[in-house]
Amino acid sequence: MKRLFKNETVQEFFESKEAVFGLILIIVLTLSAIFANFIAPQNPYDLKQLNLQNAYKPPGYVADGIRFWLGTDDQGRGVFSTILYGMRISLFVGIVSTIFSAIIGTILGLVAGYFGGKVDTVIMRLADIQLSFPALLIALMIMAIWGQGLDKIIIAITVVGWVYYARTVRGSTLAEREKEYVDSARVIGVGHLRIMFRHILPNVLAPVIVIGTVRIANAIILEATLSFLGLGVPVTKPSLGSMIASGYQVLFSGYWWVSVFPGIALMLIVMGINLVGDRLRDILNPKLKK
């Protein structure tokens, strides 16, 4: 731990107040999502704990011995508790799909950049075609084919996301491939796989980390959008997106809290991630440094 804080990159990261704020935000939100069952006054997934008479109560309402700090929704679920549980789903989907797309995209980008030629053409044209469609449209198509569910959402977001890694990693690989350390490895007789993964990969990882952080935010938004459109997770286990959607219908009937508070939670997560991502980009991008 001590060594970690002596690291230059880490020190540089902590020089930015915004980034530290973002990091704290992420840690607080993630921890409260993970420990939702200890923090939340109510388990919104447990039908026994719900009372339909408590539907649409304003923030601060007290019933069944519970104070609903942020009010309740149409099912009588406390908005605060539902946000905590909903963040779990949002963060889980965001992180898992980002890891999957980072792995797939990095490998494909590495292969395309290293071998070049036809392999490169096929992979990169595929990426170009995919990028010419809006991400949401592609996700919708996949969900339409495979149906709903948490696993399907993750697949859809992974498919949407790999392109960004592949393009960046391919670009960096093209640059690294020309460096003499690759020639040096070839002269020694190192095989292609080892050159790609042992030599080039560690040198192209920095941008992957930067894209990764920013893409987590994107993945969370995409999941929220899909859920908002009713294609996401089941209604019994609402994520932030489906919460906003359910409150949206009654937003102008006076029940504003049902969608505004989940919206704020979503915004805080995305903002925290982006603050950290921006800082990482500044530090890890050698072009911005002298």
Partner 1 sequence: MTNSLVRVENLKKYFPVKLGLFEGWYFNPLPKRKKLYVKAIDGVSFEINRGDTFALVGESGCGKTTTGRTIVGLYRKTGGEIYFKGRPVDTVLKENPGDFRRNVQMIFQDPYSSLNPRMKVYQLISEPMRVHKLVKDRKEERERVAELMKNVGLEPEYMTRYPHQFSGGQRQRIAIARALATEPEFIVADEPISALDVSIRAQILNLMEDLQEKYGLTYLFIAHDLSVVRHISNKTAVMYLGRIVEMGDTDEIFENPLHPYTKTLFESIPSVDKVKQPLKVTIEGEVPSPINPPPGCPFHPRCPFATDRCKKERPELVEVAPGHKVACFLY
Alpha helices for 35-149 (secondary structure H): 36-39, 79-115, 117-131, 135-146
| Nearest approach, Cβ of residue 181 and partner 1 (Å) | 4
End-to-end CA, the chain:
29
- When the beta carbons of 75 and 173 are compared against partner 1, the nearer one is 173
Name 226's Cβ contacts closer than 8 Å, sequence gap at least 6: 136, 139, 140, 143, 153, 156, 232, 241
Check binding of 189 to partner 1 (CB under 8 A).
yes
CB under 8 A: which stretch of 35-43, 189-197, 228-236, 240-248 binds partner 1?
189-197
Contacts of 28 (CB under 8 A, 6+ apart): none
Nearer to partner 1, 43 or 203 (CB): 203
Chosen residue from 202, 236, 264, 285 binding partner 1 by CB under 8 A = 202
| Candidate list 34, 131, 155, 190; residue touching partner 1; CB under 8 A | 190
Q: In the range 142-181, which residues lie near partner 1 by CB under 8 A?
A: 179-181
- Residue 40's H or E segment, with its range, is none
Q: Which is nearer to partner 1, 49 or 203 (CB)?
A: 203
* Cβ atoms of 204 and 176 closer than 8 Å: yes
Please check whether residue 166 is in contact with residue 215, taking contact to mean a CB–CB distance below 8 angstroms: no
CB of 198 to partner 1, least distance (A): 8
Q: In the complex, what is the shortest distance from the CB of residue 183 to partner 1, in angstroms, rounded to a whole number?
A: 5
Among 35, 64, 186, 197, binds partner 1 (CB under 8 A): 186
- Regarding 286 and contact with partner 1 (CB under 8 A), the answer is no
Total chain residues near partner 1 (CB under 8 A):
17
Query: What whole-number distance in Å separates Cα of residue 180 and Cα of residue 175?
Result: 11
For partner 1, the binding residue among 185, 229, 250, 251 (CB under 8 A) is 185
Taking CA 154 as the corner, what is the angle to CA 149 and CA 38, rounded to the nearest 5 degrees? 75
For residue 119, state whether it binds partner 1 (rule: CB under 8 A): no
Region class of 60: left (phi > 0), else alpha (psi between -120 and 50), else beta? left
Residues paired with 68 in a beta bridge: 61
67 binds partner 1 (CB under 8 A): no
Nearer to partner 1, 182 or 222 (CB): 182
Q: Which residues bind partner 1 (CB under 8 A)?
A: 121, 179-181, 183-191, 194, 199, 202-203
